[in-house]
Amino acid sequence: GAVVSQHPSRVICKSGTSVKIECRSLDFQATTMFWYRQFPKKSLMLMATSNEGSKATYEQGVEKDKFLINHASLTLSTLTVTSAHPEDSSFYICSARKPPGQGGYGYTFGSGTRLTVV
């Protein structure tokens, strides 16, 4: 199957600090990964598309300087929430698709990261 690992699962940080979230494809190479944000009882909102070896593509309204994305290898994308504030508290979740060339089918999600900024 296609396994996506996300770490950490929960993080509490102080306002003004930065938090890094990692998303790894464990058994396939992912040239593209996606980062979502989910508020309680709401749907998944795409924040950005992470492209290996190039700049991420951000959705309208998402601050690229606030949410730094790095996709330095074919198996790892990171999302860094910089200068976090309480309004950044949310559930962040990544996803990736195993390429058809690697026997892929469908999108797989990481386990999500519950960020709480105090």
Residues that bind another protein (CB under 8 A): 31-32, 34, 41-44, 46, 49, 91, 93, 95, 97, 106-112, 114
CB of 77 to another protein, least distance (A): 14
By CB atoms closer than 10 A (0-12, 13-18, 19+), residue 77 is buried
CB of 67 to another protein, least distance (A): 16
Report the residue number, 38 or 80, with the smaller CB distance to another protein. 38
Neighbour tally for 82: CB within 10 Å: 15
Report the residue number, 43 or 86, with the smaller CB distance to another protein. 43
The dihedral built from the CA positions of residue 62, 63, 66 and 71, taken in this order, carries a sign that is positive
CB of 71 to another protein, least distance (A): 13
| Separation CA 99–CA 81 (nearest Å) | 28
CB of 112 to another protein, least distance (A): 5
